[in-house]
Amino acid sequence: MRNDSARRTAKAGSRSVLLTVALVVLAGCGAGDDDLSTEGDVQANGELPGAVATDLDVQGDDREFVTVDDFVRGYWLRPVPPQGEASDAWSPLEASLLPEDCGTCHPVQYGDWQTAVHSEAYSPGLSGQLVNWEQNAFGTVESCLVCHAPLSEQSARVAAGEEWTSNPSFDPALRDHGIVCAACHVRGTRRHGPPRRDGSVDASPEGSPHSGVTRTEFFEDSRFCSGCHQFLPGGAAPNGKLLENTYTEWENSRYAAEGVVCQTCHMPDRRHLWRGIHDPDMVRSGVTIEWTISDAEAGLQVTNTGTGHRFPTYATPEVLVSVQLLDADRQPIVGASTEHAIARRIGYQAGAWVELSDTRLLPDSGVAVTVAVPPEARHVRASITVRPDAFYRKMFESLLTGMLSDTSRALLTEAGRRAESSPFRIFDEAVPLQP
Ligand code: HEC
Ligand code: HEC
Ligand code: HEC
Ligand code: HEC
Ligand code: HEC
């Protein structure tokens, strides 16, 4: 169904122009057309890789990466320039960019990756929006693909000056796989990877498949992840805080000083899991939950003790802490309850993002959610519900009220269904007030 996008008929008209603007804005993911710079215009300060390129007429990427600085400056040029022709000496399997082909020889990473959100990044929620822009606003499509499907070979069109022309190296199957192995590991057909587990980086043995690997410490650096998880200065920043600020949050935490990088928590033992807000065990590992009970007040203390950035880092999830006092018959006491959302709430008003509230927890900070204890109270009950897609759920609902093609409607309906079924509880207990 997803491939229908290319065949979708353009439903033009004044309404669709307005709709496009609303969609870009609601997507909540920053980079609009204005953020696109030209090839080679790598970010000036060279500290964070986030460069976005257009006008890639190179057909084979022959850039050399030697120092970590080369990687920081150029590895995440996006879209990743076209790979070019693989060596004649390689078998079709070695030359393929498809994840299932990498998986023939790297089954562990392939198995993990299939369970991770990175493999789903060309999702119904994304593609259901993109189909509306394929014909008339390809710049907007590309501004999303740079993070969700970043290889040139994943884009139906390429920029040629002001125009978007059809891309000879486009592979729709590759696009539908989202953030593929090659997006992180292949540049100019050359395979890149981390140092061996013993730390060595010397060349692969003669005759290795895909002519071996170039090994670099950049793969063990948080800047490897920042291109897609950190907006650059100048991006949307309601109340002075960028909408995606994960790298900076991490950099300002004790984890950066302790050498605990993104990969330490999200790729333990180099596993390709990238668990986050959608995974109950991962969320539990990020916080400490304690009862706080006195004669006057009762409730929960929630502290960010294991999340290497704000808990949660984005404005899209919501964590709800509920406390209810119960009487001797374990019945809820009216008026003796509270609910607190740990979340950054944003809204779009008069053409700009505004921050409505921000109660996210900085690393090593916490919040006490308590209720005053009335005389008849005997027990306290509390729960913590995680809504990973709280923002997107509302967004999909609102998009579905608009004028959409059938393809778009079907995809966004599926996205809405997924967002609705993603909430889970990480805590639900009742205890007596007096031991
Ligand atoms: C025909 C089998 C085969 C295929 C297909 C294959 N690889 Fe490899 N790959 C290997 C072998 C063997 C090595 C070990 C080379 C060495 O010792 O340096 C390797 C090494 C690697 C490494 C470094 C691993 C390490 O241990 O540090 C990475 C990263 C890698 N491949 C990525 C890929 C990607 C991405 C693809 C698909 C685009 C792919 N490979 C396809 C066989 C294959
Ligand atoms: C800077 C990288 C980046 C760009 C550019 C980007 N996204 Fe995202 N997107 C993310 C990340 C990271 C997440 C997951 C975190 C979150 O929930 O916000 C995400 C999540 C999403 C989701 C919710 C999850 C899903 O797949 O259903 C949608 C929908 C989405 N993006 C649409 C878009 C659209 C549309 C655009 C272009 C207008 C876009 N994104 C541009 C990084 C990006
Ligand atoms: C989002 C980026 C990303 C994607 C997608 C990705 N990898 Fe990796 N891969 C990494 C990073 C980063 C490391 C190094 C992790 C570390 O050293 O902690 C790595 C390490 C590896 C290694 C070395 C593992 C080891 O035990 O030494 C192999 C092999 C590999 N990846 C293959 C693959 C294959 C095959 C796929 C697709 C199924 C894939 N990768 C997808 C980022 C990625
Ligand atoms: C090419 C861009 C890109 C790179 C590089 C990248 N990510 Fe992501 N990541 C995304 C996008 C896009 C999403 C959201 C996908 C979706 O839901 O549609 C995401 C989602 C995630 C999630 C969210 C899981 C959840 O439950 O929602 C985690 C955790 C994550 N990435 C960690 C990492 C780490 C760690 C690295 C570095 C090793 C990394 N990412 C590199 C683009 C990227
Ligand atoms: C000390 C461990 C730790 C480190 C370091 C860490 N994270 Fe996380 N991360 C977590 C935990 C735990 C969660 C789940 C709770 C949450 O969502 O905040 C998470 C969640 C996420 C999510 C899910 C979205 C969200 O709104 O929370 C993304 C994306 C993510 N991390 C990316 C990164 C990136 C990129 C880095 C490096 C700059 C990084 N993380 C460093 C532990 C860590």
Contact 135, 415 (CB under 8 A): no
Neighbours of 122 (CB within 10 A): 22
Atom of ligand 1 nearest to the CA of 208: 15
Report the C-alpha gap between 190 and 62 in whole angstroms.
Answer: 9
* Angular region, 199: left φ>0, alpha ψ -120 to 50, beta rest: left
How do strand 214-215 and strand 190-193 relate by DSSP bridges? Answer: parallel
Å from CA of 368 to ligand 4 middle: 30
Using the structure block, give the residue that is written with the tokens 């995974």: 279
Q: Which residue among 151, 192, 220, 225 is best mutated to probe the pocket of ligand 4, counting the most ligand atoms within 8 A of its Cβ?
A: 225
- Give yes or no: residues 177 and 39 share one domain: yes
Atom of ligand 4 nearest to the CA of 266: 35
Domain membership of residue 152 (yes or no) is yes
Is the shortest distance between the CB of 250 and ligand 4 below 6 Å? no
Domain membership of residue 247 (yes or no) is no
Report the C-alpha gap between 386 and 414 in whole angstroms.
Answer: 20
Please write the tens of the pLDDT for every residue from 183-194. 999 999 999 999
**Which pLDDT score, from 0 to 100, does residue 45 have?**
38
Using the structure block, give the residue that is written with the tokens 């920053």: 30
- Give yes or no: residues 86 and 209 share one domain: yes
Q: ∠ at Cα 239 (235, 244), nearest 5°?
A: 40
List C-alpha distances in Å: 33 to 29, 30, 38.
12, 10, 12
- Give yes or no: residues 330 and 198 share one domain: no
Is the shortest distance between the CB of 155 and ligand 2 below 6 Å? no
**Which pLDDT score, from 0 to 100, does residue 40 have?**
27
- Give yes or no: residues 314 and 168 share one domain: no
Atom of ligand 2 nearest to the CA of 140: 38
Using the structure block, give the residue that is written with the tokens 């394929």: 134
- Output the pTM of the full model: 0.93
3-state secondary structure of 147: helix
Contact 378, 298 (CB under 8 A): no
Is the shortest distance between the CB of 272 and ligand 4 below 6 Å? no
Atom of ligand 2 nearest to the CA of 24: 38
Contact 384, 361 (CB under 8 A): no
Ligand nearest the Cα of residue 78 is 4
Contact 158, 165 (CB under 8 A): yes
Chain-centre distance for alpha carbon 424 = 19
What does 220-289 look like in DSSP terms, one character per residue? GSTHHHHHHHBPPTTS--GGGS-SSBHHHHHHTSHHHHTT--HHHHHSGGG-S----TT-HHHHHHHEEE
- Give yes or no: residues 405 and 322 share one domain: yes
**Which pLDDT score, from 0 to 100, does residue 58 have?**
57
SS3 of the chain: helix, strand, coil, percent, to 5: 35, 20, 45
Report the C-alpha gap between 267 and 131 in whole angstroms.
Answer: 33
Which range of residues forms the domain containing residue 115?
A: 2-229
Is the shortest distance between the CB of 250 and ligand 2 below 6 Å? no
Ligand nearest the Cα of residue 284 is 5
Å from CA of 226 to ligand 4 middle: 10
- Give yes or no: residues 215 and 292 share one domain: no
Domain membership of residue 191 (yes or no) is yes
Using the structure block, give the residue that is written with the tokens 């704000």: 310
Domain membership of residue 163 (yes or no) is yes
* Ligand 1, atom 38: closest residue by C-alpha: 97
Element (H, E) at 16: helix 14-27
Report the C-alpha gap between 78 and 84 in whole angstroms.
Answer: 16
Q: Which residues of 14-24 are buried (b: 16+ CB within 10 A; e: fewer)?
A: eebeebbeebb
Domain membership of residue 254 (yes or no) is no
Domain membership of residue 262 (yes or no) is no
- Give yes or no: residues 223 and 286 share one domain: no
* Ligand 5, atom 30: closest residue by C-alpha: 276
Å from CA of 267 to ligand 4 middle: 11
Domain membership of residue 377 (yes or no) is yes
Would you give the end-to-end CA distance of the chain in angstroms?
59
Q: Which residues contact 153 (CB under 8 A, 6 or more apart)?
A: 82, 83, 97, 167, 169, 170, 171, 174
Neighbours of 323 (CB within 10 A): 21
**Which pLDDT score, from 0 to 100, does residue 22 have?**
33
The list of the chain residues with pLDDT below 70 reads 1-47, 54-59, 435
**Which pLDDT score, from 0 to 100, does residue 314 have?**
97
- Give yes or no: residues 55 and 125 share one domain: yes
- Give yes or no: residues 203 and 138 share one domain: yes
Atom of ligand 2 nearest to the CA of 229: 12
Neighbours of 152 (CB within 10 A): 21
- Give yes or no: residues 306 and 427 share one domain: yes
Å from CA of 272 to ligand 3 middle: 6
* Ligand 2, atom 24: closest residue by C-alpha: 125
List C-alpha distances in Å: 94 to 106, 181, 208, 420, 431.
12, 13, 10, 40, 59
Å from CA of 97 to ligand 1 middle: 12
Contact 128, 204 (CB under 8 A): no
- Give yes or no: residues 335 and 412 share one domain: yes
Q: ∠ at Cα 357 (266, 349), nearest 5°?
A: 110
- Give yes or no: residues 204 and 315 share one domain: no
Domain membership of residue 70 (yes or no) is yes
**Which pLDDT score, from 0 to 100, does residue 28 have?**
39
Q: Which residues pair with 324 in a beta bridge?
A: 337, 381
Q: Which residues pair with 367 in a beta bridge?
A: 302
Atom of ligand 3 nearest to the CA of 263: 18
Q: Which residues contact 190 (CB under 8 A, 6 or more apart)?
A: 211, 214
**Structural domain count, the chain:** 2
